Structure 1
Amino acid sequence: MLRRIVLIATVSAAALVGGVPVAGASPLPLPLPLPLLSEPADHLTVIVAETGNTRTDGRYELECEPTGGTHPAAEGACERLEQLAQDGQDPFAPVPEDMMCTQQMGGPATARVTGTWQGRQVDATFRRSNGCEISRWQTLEPVLPNTRS
């Protein structure tokens, strides 16, 4: 929201300056600051439940570029998300329906991640109900807490 306000103010100021000629001066275009035109920073809400550890259960806000929010491992979580993006991986994609997964239970832990990552909307649910889901959870650590004892 703040970026939008700054962008509107900058464009408005540029229009005003360009529209009012100064005596003896030629109007020069004002460059728009490029960071305002870049993609918004990553912002995710992470809700974790039933991990068996009351210190990791809860709702966290995670902001990257710059790192911030209430996430207990924000710096490591942002680094992991950046690494996954550089590797071309989508950690929020669901397990394909035709995937063969080991039938093992990794515990009752669940998580939901919503928000914006790499300029796109995210709404993903995680659980530890089989080998594929356990692997998917572990791929996203430390965005999601480590539930292994």
Structure 2
Amino acid sequence: MSRAFHKEEFVVPIHHIGVLATSLSTTAALLAPGTPAAAAPAAPAPSSRLALAVFPAGQATGPLRLAILECDPDGGTHAAAGSACADLHKVDGDLTALADDDAICTREYRPVTAIARGTWQGDPVAYTETFPNHCVLLSATGEVFDF
């Protein structure tokens, strides 16, 4: 005796399809011999990217210098990215901790302002400082603002 199948017998509620698919894929993974467990993707390394600017303080006009510094891997538009990143690694990205005690600068007063905005190993960076002249800036910040 043959039985006729009706279309209505094969209707499965939509929420059951998701449960069924998940169960089948889990079962297949458990039963497959020699299948290594899928490793969780590694978290991306925290980014270190700074937008840097140096300009004459208190003047509406004057040369504005800009650079992008990327670290790990070192790059961006900064002329000495490798050295600047090395300086930042020494102080764990704390621009206020940078210093070159061996510098000898004149007492010429031509103030410059240095600004850094971005992230260091995922943490936000917001730095603004005005220095008496460009030499003092470089003495206080190493290679970071030397671009």
User: Do both share a fold (TM > 0.5)?
Assistant: yes
Report the 3-state secondary structure (helix = DSSP H, G, I; strand = E; otherwise coil) of the residue aligned with 2:84: helix
1:31 corresponds to: 39
1:48 pairs with 2:54: yes
Alpha-carbon shift at residue 45 of structure 1 (Å): 0.4
RMSD: 3.4
**Structure 1 unaligned blocks of 5 or more:** 1-14, 94-103
Change (3 A) 1:23 1:142: closer
Q: TM-score, normalised by structure 1?
A: 0.56
Q: Are 1:107 and 2:110 counterparts?
A: yes
Displacement of 1:124: 0.8
- Following TM superposition, where does structure 1 have runs of at least 4 consecutive aligned residues deviating by more than 3 angstroms? none
Instruction: State the structure with more CA Rg.
Output: 2
Aligned twin of 1:145: 146
How many equivalent residue pairs? 108
- Map 1:54-133 onto structure 2 (within 5 A): 57-85=64-92, 90-92=94-96, 106-129=109-132
Identity over aligned pairs, percent:
30
TM superposition score normalised by structure 2: 0.57
Gaps of 5+ in 2: 1-21, 98-106
SS in 1 for 2:28: coil
Secondary structure of 1:21 counterpart: helix
8 Å contact from structure 2 (residues 95, 127) kept in 1 = no
